[in-house]
Structure 1
Amino acid sequence: MADYNIEEKDSFTVLGIGIELKSDYTDFAGLTKEKADFWHAVKEDGRLDTLKALATNGYIFAVNEAVNNKMMHYAGVMTEATLPEATRVIQFPKGEYLVVKGEAKTAEELSNQLTGIAFGQVLPEVNDYAYVGGPNAAVEMGQRNGLVYGEFWIPVVRK
C-alpha cells in the first residue's frame, strides 16, 4: 500500500499559470503529454522562475482543477502576491486532505506517479473519506539523494 495519511490543513492560496487540458479525462497518455509540454514551456520561457521568486516557501505546485466545466492544469506557488501574467489565484480550503508521499527521478515523473497512486489506489481504498471536487495538487518539495520528493494533496470529506 502507498505511503499516505489524512492531514488537517489550513486554507492556503496558490498563484498559478495554467492551460486548459483538451484530452478526455480518461486519456492518461494524452493528459500526460499535454502537461509535459506545458511544464517544458513554463520552464523554458521563464514563467516558472517568475512564480518561484514570489513563493512563500520552496514548494512547486502542479494543480488540477475543474473551472467552468473545463479541465485546467497550473504551475503554481504558495503566495499572497499576484502577477499580471498569472492565470488564476487558486484557493485551497481549510479541512482534511488525503496526502500521498513519494519520490522519483524528475518532478514530472513524481507528479504522474503520485497522481496515479492517489486516484488509482488510495482514494478507492479509503472508505471513510470521499473526494468531492475542488483543486488537487502534486507538490514538489525538494531533492534528496538525487531524487525529487513530494506529496499529492486531495481535499476530502468524511463519508
Structure 2
Amino acid sequence: MANYTIEEKDSFVVLGFGTELKSDYTDYMGINKEKADFWHAVNEDGRLDALKAVATNDYIFIVNEAVNNKMMHYAGVLTDETLPEATRVIQFPKGEYVVVKGEAPTAEELANTVTGIAFGQALQEATDYAYVGGPNAAVVMDQQNGQVYGEMWIPVIKK
C-alpha cells in the first residue's frame, strides 16, 4: 500500500529549462539515462544556478510534461520572474494533487522513487481520483544529513 495524501493546491507556475526525451516511453533505462544526462548538463553549464537565482524558495522541480505529443523533462523553480533563455513556463492547475513524500541519497534517486510510487501504486489506490494528464513534478524540498527530501505532485480530478 502506497503512502500518499490528496492535497488541494493553488495554481502555480514553474520556470524551467527542458529537454525532449527521445526514448520510447516504455524504455525506462533509456529515459533515465536521458534524464541523468540532462541533469548533469544543467548542473555543469549554470542553467540550474540561473534558475535558483530567480526562485521564490529553495524548491527544485523535476517536471515531466507531454507537449505537442513529445515527452518533455524540465529542471524548474517557482518564480514570478522570467529568464530569456528559459525554455518553458509551466502552469500547474489549481486543484487536488496526489502527493507522495520520500527521501533518498540524491535528487535523482528521490525523483525516481516518488515517481515510481506515485504512478505505480498511489494512482491505482486512489480509486476516487484520476490523472488526466498535464504536468507532474518531483519536488526537491530539503537536504540534510546526507538525505534529500521531497514529494511527487500529480494533479488529479475526482471521478
TM range (shorter): over 0.9
Moved over 4 A (4+): none
Matched residues, percent identical?
79
Shift of 1:3: 2.3
User: How far apart, CA to CA, are the structure 2 residues paired with 1:85 and 1:2?
Assistant: 39
Q: Any gaps of 5 or more consecutive residues in structure 1?
A: none
Cα shift readout 1:74-131 (whole Å, capped 9, x = no counterpart): 0000001111110000000000000000000000000011111110111111100000
Q: How does 1:1-159 map to 2 (within 5 A)?
A: 1-159=1-159
Cα shift readout 1:112-151 (whole Å, capped 9, x = no counterpart): 1111111011111110000000000000001133200000
Change (3 A) 1:112 1:78: same
Q: What is the TM-score normalised by the length of structure 2?
A: 0.98
Which amino acid is 1:69 matched to? Answer: N
Contact in 1 for aligned 2:55/2:79 (Cα 8 Å): yes
User: How far apart, CA to CA, are the structure 1 residues paired with 2:73 and 2:150?
Assistant: 18
User: How far apart, CA to CA, are the structure 2 residues paired with 1:68 and 1:5?
Assistant: 30
User: How far apart, CA to CA, are the structure 2 residues paired with 1:106 and 1:3?
Assistant: 20
Q: What is the TM-score normalised by the length of structure 1?
A: 0.98
User: How far apart, CA to CA, are the structure 1 residues paired with 2:5 and 2:69?
Assistant: 30
Aligned residues: 159
